[in-house]
Structure 1
Amino acid sequence: MLTNSDSYHDIRPYNDSEVPAAIERLINDQAFIDAIVSHRFERSPKWLSSLLGPFVKILLRIKWRKFKSVAHIQDEVGRFMETLLQRTSDGVTVKGLDKLDPTKAYIFISNHRDIAMDPALVNFALHSAGHNTALIAFGDNLLKKPSATELMKLNKGFVVKRSAKKPRELLKALTQLSNFIKDALQSNQSVWIAQREGRAKDGMDFTDPAILKMFYMAGKQQKLEFADYMKSLNIVPVAIAYENDPCDIAKANELYQVNHHGQYNKTEFEDIDSIVKGIVGHKGRLTVTFGSVIDDDFTTPAELASQIDAQIHRNYQLYPINYLAANQQHGEITAECRARLDDKLSQLPAEAHPYLLANYANPVNNAR
């Protein structure tokens, strides 16, 4: 995939030759097998569940032995996504993709609402339209389980080393990441990355200029001007809108705990739990809107971030629940919509209500 991929061995996705061994490691990961059994057979008695593990391994080995390349994996993920979205959504609308050249590589910078589904929806849209899918940036905070690493690297994921804290260590990690993204684009491979670290739990979709500074590190090494280098990256803002956020109550509770009690203690595998909830939870209607390639001369990261935000805010698909939460009149606000929002609020203390409402209302405010 990348000509000098050995220099990125610790962060890059798996290549074709590494796929069979990675699948074998997954099949032999007992924690992974146990997780599948507990999810698929959650209502079965424990004694039966304990006997199902060996059969799940056999079934996976039969089903997955055909996967010999990254392309095979992407086709399977595409089929999985189609089935998943039929079950957990009321349909996906894709806009703006027809303006992009399928033979070119882009950096897709999207708003960040869901850990797994945001990049999955972007790649589902690309795959369905016959475009090559993008490499997916994910933080090393999600690598607490070996199976998570295997699954993400099999699915074109590359690692962002968020755990690097010491200045020299952080500089080395960011430089490696910047050069990896540059080389990926030069290999005609698109990249997806969220506009900020961590999900926007309050509906405020704003780009962190630090991400753009990281992009420029590779350009700075080549002594290129910021504006020239950033234009060469073919940056495309992407707005992802969920009519229903499966994690909205948990997000509101977290913000409430932080603001009213001074802290929120995240459990060890809470990020993994959020991933599962986002995948299997009902999402209502979904809209993925690809913006225009940014080709203007922006001389600072802050200026470029503002342009990315402007496109995301303008292209964000607003649903009736957004207008209802913002206390605005809208013709499509139904009694069912009001009942759904009331039900969400009833699961939170009154002091936490503003945080849940903000998650849906702020996209309306930002679109003005």
Structure 2
Amino acid sequence: MSETDLVNDPYQEIRPYRDDEVGEVLTSLIYNDEFVRAITHYQFPRLSEWMGWVLRPIVRIALAARIGDVADVHDFQKLVADYMAKMISRTTTRMTCSGIEQFDEEEAYLFVSNHRDIAMDPAFVNWVRYQYGMSTVRIAIGDNLLRKPYISDLMRLNKSFIVNRSARGREMMTALTQLSSYIDHSIQNGHSIWIAQREGRAKDGNDRTDPALLKMFYMSQRKQRSFSEAVERLNIVPVSISYEFDPCDASKARELAAKATSGAYEKQEFEDIDSIVKGITGNKGHVHVAFGEPIRGQFDTPEALALEIDRQIYTNYHLHPSNLAAAGEKVEPAEQAKFDAHLAQVADGPEREIMKQMYANPVFNRRRAEGKV
């Protein structure tokens, strides 16, 4: 990238694609053999093993026809919405939300969300906003998930921007300052943002905001205003996303059990991609997205702000029968039986206890936040 490009478009390396870039990116995807192979395997998992050479050209033609009318980001997101509607009908029993009526479409918000599923958390936030006729959000996604160029292209077509987690030393400070500046730039220019409250999913069911994330928000503003002024300017809204059943709960329990017994867990090369697919296609039961209130008032430190974000996430978290049953609270016999059957998918022992605790922790966190424990 030339110095001129950096001056004219300082966020070019991390920002979502613009409308005028969509056509070229889609064309490159159609001719990306690895992408076509992945789509073929997803649609025809068995046949693709021995008939892939026949299926891939057909899939390529079908893709070209499907995206032929996509001219801009909005068109692409309408395409995504069609797939979302099918996914929701197949993998959820209910999809609900609360708190969305308070938002002013003329304002931009920084949605700081708990994080349970890599792809579906921001997708569900976007879905409910889309259903209410609101603009979709820009989504923060770690570069650790973008090892394949076609995945990066797909995410950036869908209004995702890149969080450079692989940077080290001085390069890390530069990347964090750029990210901080981009988030502020987006909010000030009317584009809402979704970002997870910490790096990585809350695999044990404990949703806790990392103050380091909040320090990053301030990095590009520290010479112009106080931390409290920066918080007010960013229009932060905590978001609680709750799944009756987590499609990745068994694999999360295995990982946590391995760490508890051996002190380490070695992630496979494309394990994150497998988790994304499982999160999209797996049974979720009832899913609820709860929007908190925009944070106002005096917050002088990231730690104080983190406590307020956590308080709203805990108290707004929708407790499903699965959560209540795991915490030992009384639920209908049918709901208890359903949860017990779900637990039985992992072997009796440490993994099952970890998975049970995973569902119980939101109950305990909410009770503490409400002063009931």
TM-score class, shorter-chain normalisation, is: over 0.9
Residue 254 of structure 1 pairs with residue 255 of structure 2:
yes
Deviations 1:280-323 (A, max 9, x none): 00100010011100011111101111111111100100011111
Q: Write the deviation string for residues 9-30 of structure 1: whole angstroms up to 9, x where unpaired.
A: 1101100011011111111111
Structure 1 position 53 matched with structure 2 position 56: yes
Shift of 1:339: 4.3
> Once the 2 structures are TM-superposed, how far is the Cα of residue 100 of structure 1 from its aligned partner?
0.9
**Secondary structure at 1:90's aligned position in 2?**
strand
Aligned-partner SS, 1:288: strand
Please give the secondary structure, in 2, of the residue aligned with 1:264: coil
CA contact (8 A) 1:253 1:348 kept: no
**Which residue, 179, 199, 202 being the options, matches 1:200?**
202
Deviations 1:207-257 (A, max 9, x none): 0011110001122032x0111111111101111000010000000000000
Moved over 6 A (4+): none
The 1:181–1:4 alpha-carbon spacing in structure 2 relative to 1, beyond 3 Å, is farther
Q: Deviations over 1:69-92 (max 9, x none)?
A: 111112222222112101110121
2:21 equivalent in structure 1: 18
Cα deviation, residue 344, structure 1: 2.9
Given the two structures, how large is their TM-score scaled by the length of structure 1? 0.95
The aligned residue for residue 38 of structure 2 is 35
Task: Indicate conservation of the 8 Å contact 2:325/2:339, yes or no.
Answer: no
Per the alignment, residue 91 of structure 1 pairs with 94
1:134 and 2:137 are equivalent in the alignment: yes
1:20 and 1:65 in contact (8 A); partners too = no
Give the partner amino acid of 2:191.
Q
Counterpart of 2:160 in structure 1 is 157
Task: State the partner residue of 1:212.
Answer: 214
Q: How far apart, CA to CA, are the structure 1 residues paired with 2:156 and 2:8?
A: 14
> Gapped runs of 5+ residues in structure 1?
none
Match of 2:182 in 1: 180
CA contact (8 A) 2:98 2:291 kept: yes
CA distance in 1, matches of 2:93, 2:278: 17
Worse-matched range after superposition: 47-56 or 108-117: 47-56
CA contact (8 A) 2:343 2:356 kept: no
Match for residue 123 of structure 1 among 123, 126, 132: 126
Q: Structure 1 residues 60 and 216, CA, compared in 2 at 3 Å: closer, same or farther?
A: same
Name stretches of at least 5 consecutive residues in structure 2 with no aligned partner.
Answer: 1-5, 368-373
Aligned-pair distance for 1:337? 4.0
Out of 98, 106, 111, which is 1:108 matched to? Answer: 111
Q: Is the 8 A contact 2:96 2:288 kept in 1?
A: yes
Q: Deviations over 1:111-132 (max 9, x none)?
A: 0000000000001111111111
| TM-score, normalised by the number of residues in structure 2 | 0.94
User: Alpha carbons of 1:125 and 1:338: their partners in 2 closer, same or farther (altered >3 Å)?
Assistant: same
Matches within 5 A, 1:209-288: 209-222=211-224, 224-288=225-289
Deviates more, 1:20-29 or 1:347-356: 347-356
Separation in structure 1 between the aligned mates of residue 345 and residue 82 of structure 2, nearest angstrom: 37
Aligned mates of 1:157, 1:139 — CA distance in 2: 10
- For residue 181 of structure 1, what is the amino acid of its counterpart? I
Q: Distance in 2 between matches of 1:306 and 1:45?
A: 50
Secondary structure in 2 aligned to 1:329?
Answer: coil
RMSD (Å) for aligned C-alpha atoms: 1.5
Deviates most, 270-279 or 84-93: 84-93
Cα contact 2:40–2:48 (8 A) shared by 1: no
CA contact (8 A) 1:345 1:356 kept: no
Cα distance between partner residues in 2 of 1:205 and 1:73:
32
- Once the two structures are aligned, what percentage of the paired residues are identical? 46
Is the 2:108–2:187 Cα contact (8 Å) retained in structure 1? yes
The SS at the match of 2:47 is: coil
Task: Rate the CA distance shift 1:96–1:4 in 2: closer, same or farther, 3 A.
Answer: farther
- Give the corresponding residue for 2:74: 71
2: CA distance, partners of 1:361 / 1:345: 16
